[in-house]
Chains A and B, each alone.
Chain A
Amino acid sequence: MDVVLNILAGFAVALTPQNLMFALMGSFLGTLIGVLPGIGPAAGCALLIPLTARIDPTGSIIMLTALFYGTQYGGTITSVLLNVPGEASSVITCLDGYQMAKQGRPGVALSISAIGSFIGGTLASLALVVVAGPLTRMALEFGPVEFFALMVLGLSLLMGLAGTSMVKALMMGIFGLLLSMVGMDPVRGSPRFTFGQMELMDGIGFVPVIMGLFGLAEILENAEKRFTQVVQSKLSSLIPTRQDVKDSAMPILRGTVLGTLLGLVPGMTNSASSFLSYAMEKKLSKHPEKFGTGAIEGVAGPETANNAHANGALIPLFTLGIPASPTIAVIMGAFMMNGIVPGPFLFKDHPALVWGVIASFFIGNVILLILNLPLIRLWVKVLKIPYSILFGLILAFMIIGVYGLDNSAFDIMTMIVFGVLGYVLRKLDFPLAPVVLTLVLGPLMERSLRTSMEMSQGDFSILWSSPISAGLLIAAAAVLISSALRFLPIGKRIPSGDEEV
C-alpha cells in the first residue's frame, strides 16, 4: 500500500508543468543524441549537467534520466534507415531492421521497436517501484563498513566492462581512482596532488573529464576520416500488420524480462542485453533462417531488451548507490553535484525527489513513444544534416557545457587534455568506462573505508567483522576470480562497457 501511495505522490511531483517540460526536453535531447553520430549518452548527459545546475534537483534528474533512456529510442532510427547504429545497443537491430527497410518496411520496424521500447521501459520502471522498498529497507542496515564492502563488490562487478584485457581494465579503474584523489582529502581536508593550482582544490572536474574522454575523443577519431555523409531515406507506413503484432508479442515480453534482469547487474551493458535477446529469439524461433533477412522478431526483442535494460539499470543506482554503467555514473555525478548521494538513504531523505523521478520514467516513456511514432519524420530530417556541420556545433555546445559549470577556462584545457588522452587510449584498446565509474565511486569508497578505520582505531579486521560486509567481500572476491577466468582461453568475451558510451 505504501508503494502505491508513494508512486501516486511521485506522479503529483512529475506531473507539474515544470517537471513535464524537463521530461519532454530530456526525451527530445535523448532521441536527438541517439540519432546523431559522434556523441553518445555519457557525453550527452555530461553536456546537460551545467544547464541542470541552475534548476531544482528533481527537474534536473528527471531531464538527465529521460535523456539517458531516450538515447535508446533514438539509436534505433539510424540502425533501421541507414544500417548505421546510432548507439552501440542498436548494432544488432541493423541485421533485420535494415533488411526490413530494404524491403520497403522501415516504418513497421521503427513502430514495432518504439512500441517494444515503450513496453520494456515501462515494465522495468514498474520493477523499480516494486523492488525499491525491500532493497532500501535491507540497505538501511548498512554502516560505513558495509558500504565500503558494497562499493568493492560494485567495482568488482564492473570488471565485466573489461573488454579484451583484464590488465588494461584494472589499469583504467586505478587511473580513475587516482584522478578522484586530486583535491582536498575527504577526511583531513588537506590538499592532495593539487600542485599549487587553485583550480584543482575542488578536484578534477567530472564533466570536463567525461566530455574529453567520450565527446572530444570521439570527434577526434571521426576527424581522421573525411566528413562525408549523405542520407537519403524515405519512410513507409508505420502501421504494422496483424501478423507483425503477433510475431512481436512474445519477443517483446521476453526482451522486457531479460533486459530488466541484466540491467540489475553492474557491468552488464545494454549491448549485451540486445545481443542476448537476439540470440534467444533466434534460438526459440521456428524459422531461425529468417533472421538476418528482415525478421520482425529480430527487431522487437533486442530493442525492447535494451530499453528495459536502461530503466532496469537505474534500480541499483537508486537503491544501493551503485552506477551500473558509465552513463549512470554521470547521472550519479549529477545527483552528487546537487548534494544528494544515491543509495538507501535517498528514499528516506528525499522521498519527493526519488518518487517524482521514478514516476517521470512512466511519463518519459509515453513522451518518447509520441516523439518516435508520429514525429519520426522529424528525426529522419535531422539525419540529413551533414556531419561536417554538426561536429562544429557539438564542439560549441561542449565548450559552453564545460565552461558554464564553473566559469573557468581551466576546464576547457582539462577537456582538451582528456580528449587527447581518450583518443590515444582508444587507439591502444583501453576500455574507458572503468575510468568514469571509479572516478565517481572513488571518493565515496575512500571516505567509507577511512571512516570505518577511525571507528576501529585503525584495525582492519572491522571490514569483515559484520556478516553483511564479510559476505559482500567474499562475493567480490568470487566475481573477480570468475572475471579473471574469463580471460583464460576457455572464457567467452562479452561486449565491453565502452560500447554503451
Chain B
Amino acid sequence: MRRVNQVGSLLFFVGALSVMWASWALEYYTPLGPGPGFFPLWLGGCLALLSLIWFVQAGRKPREPIPEGFIPARDGMMRIGSILGALLLMGLLIDVLGFQLMMFAFLLFLLVVLGRRSIVLTLAISLAGSFGAYYAFTTWLGVQLPQASISWLMKLGL
C-alpha cells in the first residue's frame, strides 16, 4: 500500500507543478493587487508541498499488503469497464444518433450484461427509460434532449 500512496502523491506533485507552470503564463500582480495568476500559483505551490508531505508520510508507514478489495476482482473490473465504456460511447454518440436511440442501446446493454433479467422486462425498462423519458422530459418538463444529426434518423423522429 505504501507504494500505491507514494505513486499517488507523485502524480499529485506533477499535477501541482503543471498548475504552477500554467499560472506562470498569467499576470501575477497588477497595480491594483493580485492578478489572474496569483491565486493558482500559490495554490499550486501549496498542493505541491502537501503532496510531498503525503509522500513522506506514506514512506514512514510500515510496509503492509494492499488491502483486500482495493483492486477489484476480474468480474468487478468487467462490470466497471462495461459501465464506463457504455457511458463513453453515450458521450461520443449522443449528438450523432440522438438521445432516444443511444439511451435505448445504453440501457439494453447494461441491463442485459449486468442486470440479467428477463428479456421482456429488460426491453420494457429500456423503452421506458429512452423513448418514454424523452417524451416526458421534452414535453412535460421542457428539458431539451438531443435528436439524431443523421438526416434519415431525424426524419424518423429520432
Contacts and interface: CB of A to CB of B under 8 A. Distances in A.
Interface of A: 50-51, 54, 167-168, 170-171, 174-175, 177-178, 181, 185, 187-188, 190, 192-193, 216, 219-220, 223-227, 386, 388-389, 391-393, 395-396, 399-400, 403-404, 407, 409, 412-413, 415-416, 419-420, 423, 427-428, 446, 449-450, 453-454, 456-458
A392 B29 CA distance: 50
A223 B114 contact: yes
B116 interface: yes
B116 to A, nearest CB: 7
Contacts, number: 164
A391 B54 CA distance: 35
B59 interface: no
Interface of B: 4-5, 8, 12, 19, 22, 26-27, 29-36, 39-40, 43-44, 46-47, 50-51, 53-54, 57, 69-70, 72-73, 75-76, 79-80, 83-84, 87-88, 90-92, 94-95, 99, 103, 106-107, 110-111, 114-117, 121, 125, 129-130, 133, 137, 141-146
A428 B29 contact: no
Contact of A396 (B43, B69, B133, B146): B133
A409 B40 contact: no
Contacts of B31: 457-458
State the majority secondary structure of interface residues on B: helix
Given A389-B125, A409-B91, 19 more contacts: A175-B47, A185-B36, A223-B76, A225-B76, A386-B115, A391-B110, A392-B125, A399-B90, A399-B103, A400-B137, A400-B145, A403-B146, A409-B95, A412-B91, A416-B84, A419-B84, A427-B70, A446-B39, A450-B34
Nearest to A459: B33
B79 A224 contact: yes
B118 to A, nearest CB: 11
B137 A224 contact: no
A170 B57 CA distance: 15
A395 B88 contact: no
B142 A54 contact: yes
Contact of A420 (B72, B79, B84, B137): B84
Contacts of B30: 188, 458
Contacts of B12: 171
Contact of B87 (A50, A190, A393, A416): A416
B33 A457 contact: yes
State the majority secondary structure of interface residues on A: helix
Closest 9 CB pairs of A and B: A453-B33, A224-B76, A412-B91, A185-B36, A224-B72, A223-B79, A458-B33, A388-B115, A404-B143
A168 B137 CA distance: 40
Nearest to B103: A396
Nearest to A168: B54
A50 B111 contact: no
Contacts of B117: 386, 388-389
A389 B111 contact: yes
Contacts of A51: 141, 143
A311 B63 CA distance: 45
Nearest to B31: A458
A458 B72 contact: no
A181 B40 contact: yes
Given A404-B143, A407-B146, A420-B84, A428 B8 contact: yes
A188 B75 contact: no
Contact of A404 (B19, B22, B145): B145
Given A175-B47, A223-B80, A457 B53 contact: no
11 contacts: A51-B141, A54-B141, A167-B54, A168-B54, A177-B39, A391-B110, A400-B143, A404-B137, A412-B94, A413-B88, A458-B32
A395 B108 CA distance: 13
B72 to A, nearest CB: 4
A414 B141 CA distance: 24
A449 B51 contact: no
B144 A407 contact: yes
A388 B116 contact: yes
A67 B81 CA distance: 32
A396 B102 CA distance: 11
Contacts of A220: 80, 83-84
Nearest to B1: A428
A2 B51 CA distance: 52
Nearest to B47: A174
A190 B27 CA distance: 10
B40 A193 contact: yes
Nearest to B137: A400
B33 A395 contact: no
Contacts of A409: 91-92, 94-95, 146
Contact of B44 (A50, A178, A416): A178
